[in-house]
Chains A and B, each alone.
Chain A
Amino acid sequence: MSDRAASAVEARELTRAFGDFVAVDRISFDVAPGEVFGFLGANGAGKTTAIRMLTGLLAPTSGRGAVAGIDVATRPDDVKRRIGYMSQRFALYDDLTVAENVAFFGAVYGLSRPEVARRRDRTLRRLGAEDLAGARVGRLPLGWRQKLAFAVALLHEPEVVFLDEPTGGVDPVTRRQFWEMIYEAAASGTTVFVTTHYMDEAEYCDRVSIMVAGRIAALGTPTALKQQFDAPTIDEVFLRLARPVGLDAQGPAGAVDRPAADTGATR
């Protein structure tokens, strides 16, 4: 068995239904090791459900998903050990200090104490945050919290890291710093699977997919997608794919009437 799978993330006809509602409808794609993969879609398009399947939190109804070569349906706990995850909603414990958060997550991932200490020091040094080790996370500015959360998600050197809207509400300077951390992680071989509502960030990805109503409506490099749709920006590509035609004139159409099945399950 090779240590490294050919695809860091693999989806084959991956599907999840909630009753009659098919939140994710036979999606297929591969993400290469070390790739920065942007996973875009409108609210309710099925992104969160897909991510929950790929992170081993939700069993697929049908189809196959594998992360780091591990099947998400049959070995979800092994998947969880091999990935990093951060979202805007949950990242770190506000009441713990920076060092305590690092120690806690290091222990969760089974790192030894000396190893946790070594990686903590290295992480703080890289962030230029040595002075913050004893600071309570809840008192740090959002941008710092998000950068720390990303560093913590990388602590156990996962093969794939899932970032769910990591830069929401963050100022434009810190947003760029965050993306430079993403580039660094990818350059060192970590695969980055990221969602965002900032369409300029889609341009920073090696490839992006755009989900519409449970399906993948477009997939390719930002340059290829802009050519394919003859659009100047990914924002424009996104709006063309995701905006229901004639919404303003005719009231709700198709995509608007999708209940929030994928978000309702997590809140």
Chain B
Amino acid sequence: MTTDSPRTIEVRDLEKRYGDTAALAGISLDVAAGGLFGLIGADGAGKSTLLRILVTAILPDAGSARLDGLDVVADYREIRRRVGYMPGRFSLYPDLSVEENLDFFASVFGTTVAAGYELIAPIYSQIEPFRTRRAGALSGGMKQKLALSCALVHRPRVLVLDEPSTGVDAVSRVELWDMLERLRDDGLTTIVSTPYMDEAARCDRVALIQGGRLLGPPDAPASVAASLESPLVAVRGAADRAGLLRALRDLPHARHVYAFGEWVHYTDRRDAPAATVAAQVERSLHAGGFAGAEATPARPTIEDVFMERMAAPAGAETA
């Protein structure tokens, strides 16, 4: 291994079609060695297609992808040895016990659980007390830990996780990301997909994906969040939320207006400081009968950027 080859994953102009649908319409990205890279997007965005090409499960129509210096088409056999893959749907054998599943995955890769134990120990030790339980009878969080253990048992150099946090609760999501950070600190290169925008903050770099294309170049999550073009204002203090949304959309310079947790987010068409816009919005709301409304400049999140870029091509209003 050379020290001057910092990229473990290199994707160039990757395309894949299913019939009329372009699942990937030309995607390029790099993942640094030892990086934790997040692919952020909704169902149907192309995340799974990209990851399946990386693990050599399917072939691209055009473009190239290299993983650990190997080509996903020419060197697929070697790549399969070096990759740990956790697919989106439950990938375990429900009728086998926890330890039988782990033994199976170890044996497929010609190794043993003992040989890979050090890497999986922090995760597997949490479910080991239930090693004789059928995998199908595990809770969601435990299934996820077992699936991750199975993906790691052959000590891969690259970990590919397709929506590991979908369908699991907020507590298990936090635990999962704690585990991924620990693996990253151990030097494992990881690419992970998720529909949860808030998980982007746990990655070193992220790409936003929609309709088979990246919504802008991959970057550190803080930089992506800071790239919001429009001034952003957060509004609250109205009992009638639906009425507040309508009133904000009716403002003459409104660009996008959408609920954001406890707040409503408002972006403006003008290139003005958010504080100026906030003051104007608040005055308008007070004059319009929303006496308690409070408008304040807000720090953009990945989700704000995602929505702005999703709407960008057509310049259309967000409903």
Contacts and interface: CB of A to CB of B under 8 A. Distances in A.
B is a partner of A:
yes
Given A203-B262, A259-B138, A174 B169 contact: no
A43 B170 CA distance: 9
Most buried by B among A200, A223, A258: A200
A238 B170 CA distance: 8
B286 to A, nearest CB: 21
A197 B261 contact: no
Interface residues of A, number: 49
Nearest to A174: B42
Contacts of A1: none
Interface stretch (A50-58, A102-110, A115-123, A240-248): A240-248
Contacts of B262: 203, 222-223, 233
A180 B319 CA distance: 9
Interface stretch (A24-32, A74-82, A164-172): A164-172
Nearest to A244: B171
A256 B126 contact: yes
Given A204-B259, A264-B136, A169 B195 contact: yes
Given A173-B310, A173-B311, A43 B168 contact: yes
A199 B175 contact: no
Contact of B42 (A142, A198, A234, A256): A142
Given A172-B306, A252-B127, A264-B136, A197 B260 contact: no
Contacts, number: 127
A170 B127 CA distance: 31
A186 to B, nearest CB: 9
B125 interface: yes
B169 A43 contact: yes
B288 interface: no
Nearest to A236: B170
A172 B303 contact: yes
B267 interface: no
Contact of B175 (A187, A234, A247): A247
B141 interface: yes
Give the dominant DSSP class at A's interface: helix
A131 interface: no
B172 interface: yes
A38 interface: no
A176 interface: yes
A228 to B, nearest CB: 15
Contacts of B260: 200
Contacts of B310: 171-173
Given A142-B42, A142-B43, A260-B138, A239 B259 contact: no
Interface residues of B, number: 49
A251 B125 contact: yes
Nearest to B318: A173
Interface string A42-70: 11110000000000000000000000000
Most buried by B among A169, A204, A233: A169
A257 interface: yes
Contacts of A142: 42-44
Interface string B94-122: 00000000000000000000000000000
A214 interface: no
A204 B173 CA distance: 21
A180 B245 contact: yes
Contacts of A248: 175, 178
B280 interface: no
Contacts of A184: 242
B167 interface: yes
Given A180-B245, A264-B137, A171 B210 contact: yes
Interface in B148-187: 163, 166-175, 178
29 contacts: A42-B170, A43-B169, A43-B172, A141-B44, A142-B43, A169-B163, A169-B195, A171-B210, A172-B197, A172-B303, A173-B319, A176-B258, A177-B319, A197-B168, A197-B170, A198-B196, A199-B261, A222-B262, A238-B170, A239-B174, A242-B170, A243-B171, A247-B175, A251-B129, A252-B127, A256-B126, A256-B141, A259-B133, A260-B139
Interface of B: 41-45, 125-127, 129-130, 133, 136-142, 163, 166-175, 178, 195-197, 210, 241-242, 245, 258-262, 303, 306-307, 310-311, 318-319
Given A42-B169, A169-B195, A259-B139, 6 more contacts: A42-B171, A45-B169, A171-B210, A222-B262, A248-B175, A264-B136
